[in-house]
Structure 1
Amino acid sequence: MRVVILGVGNILLTDEGVGVHAVNELTARYDLPDEVEVIDGGTSGMDCLDQVSDADWLVIADSMRAKKEPGTITRLTGDEIPAFFKTKISPHQVGISDMLGTLNFHGLMPRNIVLLGVEPKSFATAMELSPDIAAVLPKVVDMLVAELVAIGVPPKPKAA
């Protein structure tokens, strides 16, 4: 089994970088099984094609405008994901939607896709998350861990 955890976002624009912060926190707190690859995709979705192609599972962490309260985490799977990309949900959306479209066109689409999207509060120029989004970052990491457990590749907490 091959599982890819992809954190995307621009860490120079406050909450837009929540996906990258989430995967960095995941790898800082957990030892991951060999079947799990974690990718800091930044804003370059198309550059990740080779790394995510033909994965059994692709779990994406990202900021996502869903017209909800800042900090709300939305979980989308399967056909919900392309349908959601019909409207602009993040500044780098073109990269992710283009990546998924290209994978689909070439028959290399991951067999299962999960998107964990966090409603942003700010896209101001800063490398730190806004306090509201920083407060939900541990929950995003917990949700990534829950996805891995559900898939059957549970991570182990690192020794303190």
Structure 2
Amino acid sequence: MRVLIAGVGNLFLRDDAFGTEVVRRLAAGDLPPHVRAVDYGIRSTHLAYDLLDGWDVLVLVDALPDRGEPGALRTLEVHPEPNNVLPDAHGMDPGSVLAGLGSLGGRLPRTVVVGCQVADVSEGIGLSAPVAGAVDRAVTTVRDLLDALSVDAGTG
């Protein structure tokens, strides 16, 4: 089972860089050979084209809108509606780009989002204290998810 871990976010909007920091730490560690961790930053279109390579699972790591306690993690599985809308290269949010994956001839694989509630997405570099404190927990969450996927696939 091939797993793509994609960190997304804007390094220049403080907590929006959560996904990129988590993936940077994951990529610096030992990952199984069937797992690839990539910091896509704001290049969601690049992510869509990489998904055309036929991944079995996408783990998307991203900041979540301010709808809860800053630093709180949420893990959820995405069940997209079929959509053949052509992605807009100027509408770079991951949801919009991935929704148009069918128009590129691909399909969205099983997708799990590991997200963190933000505290500050103003201009600036560096995560807020609550979001920075969630990074190691998110790394553990993604590793646990990889273990569970291996067990589900019968390879663990």
TM-score, normalised relative to structure 2: 0.82
What are the residue-to-residue correspondences of 1:134-149 with 2, within 5 Å? Answer: 134-149=132-147
Paired residue secondary structure (2:123)? coil
* Amino acid aligned to 2:43: S
Deviates more, 1:138-147 or 1:121-130: 121-130
Q: How does 1:1-160 map to 2 (within 5 A)?
A: 1-28=1-28, 30-53=29-52, 54-65=54-65, 67-79=67-79, 82=80, 94-152=92-150
- Provide structure 2 residue ranges, at least 5 long, that are not aligned to the other structure: 82-89, 152-156
**SS of the residue 2:23 aligns to:** helix
- Which structure shows the higher helix fraction? 1
The Cα of 1:122 is off from its aligned counterpart by 0.4
CA distance in 2, matches of 1:64, 1:125: 17
Taking the aligned partners of 2:2 and 2:148, their CA distance within structure 1 comes to: 14
Change (3 A) 1:93 1:137: farther
CA distance in 2, matches of 1:152, 1:66: 32
**Is the 1:46–1:98 Cα contact (8 Å) retained in structure 2?**
no
Question: CA separation in 1, counterparts of 2:105 and 2:75?
Answer: 24
Shift in Å at residue 35 of structure 1? 0.8
Conserved 8 A contact 1:75-1:114: yes
- Runs of 5+ consecutive residues of structure 1 not aligned to the other structure: 84-91, 154-160
CA RMSD of aligned residues (A): 2.1
**Normalising by structure 1, what TM-score?**
0.80
Per-residue deviation, residues 13-49 of structure 1 (Å, max 9, x unmatched):
1100000000001122x21111111111101201222
- Superposition deviation, residue 133 in structure 1: 0.7
